[in-house]
Amino acid sequence: MIHLINELIYFVLHIDIIMEGWIHDYQNWTYLILFAIIFCETGLVVTPFLPGDSLLFAAGAFAAKESHPLNIAIIVFLLITAAFAGDNTNYFIGRFLGMKVYEKDYRLIKKEYLTKTHAFYEKHGGKTIILARFLPIIRTFAPFVAGIGEMAYRRFIAFNVIGGVAWIFFSKRLIRSRLAATSACSASISATMACCVVRDGRGNLI
């Protein structure tokens, strides 16, 4: 059990190293791995520990590199689909189990997380489905609680689509802005060093 926890911690903290290995070993099959992780994190109430946000950032960063085969457009399409399908699945699981989930003791479902999500849902209503996309743990339990509370499916679908698209696109834009900032910083450092070399060549002391 301890070994499994250590493996999980390593997976979360070193997702970039692990993903680089996936890309090297599996290439285009990496898309399926990414889809499966996002689907499970949002679609299975027993897997709230999966690193959805970290995965999005790592995938976007690798896709922005010319040396890697990942395509950002394919990633965006697949992950929006995974996020939508995951929330949809979780909604129906919650609807199937109903209020008895509060009455029975399910070992794989932490009631602490369920209670916190229910409180968040009570405060924000249907918007929870959108807001929860940006909140780990709650992201997994929000559609589940919506199903338990029997939120109208049409209403849930609308919030689900908006939330899923916003989550993926916001992460993509944030990745691009960070990469742009990093590139600008690197260019500035290179220009400064070049200037120093020129001045040094003229005999000036730096």
Domain borders along the chain are: 2-201
pTM for the model stands at 0.77
Q: Which residues of 159-170 are buried (b: 16+ CB within 10 A; e: fewer)?
A: bbbebbbbbbee
- Provide the 10 A C-beta neighbour count for residue 185: 10
- What contacts 26, CB < 8 A, 6 or more positions away? 33
Of 109, 55, 108, the C-alpha closest to 83 is 55
- Give the model's pLDDT for residue 169: 81
pLDDT tens-digit series, residues 148-182: 888 999 999 999 999 998 888 887 665 555 445 44
Q: What angle do CA 124, 171, 110 make, to 5 degrees?
A: 50
- The tokens for 102 are 């509060």
pLDDT above 90 covers a percentage of the chain that reads 25
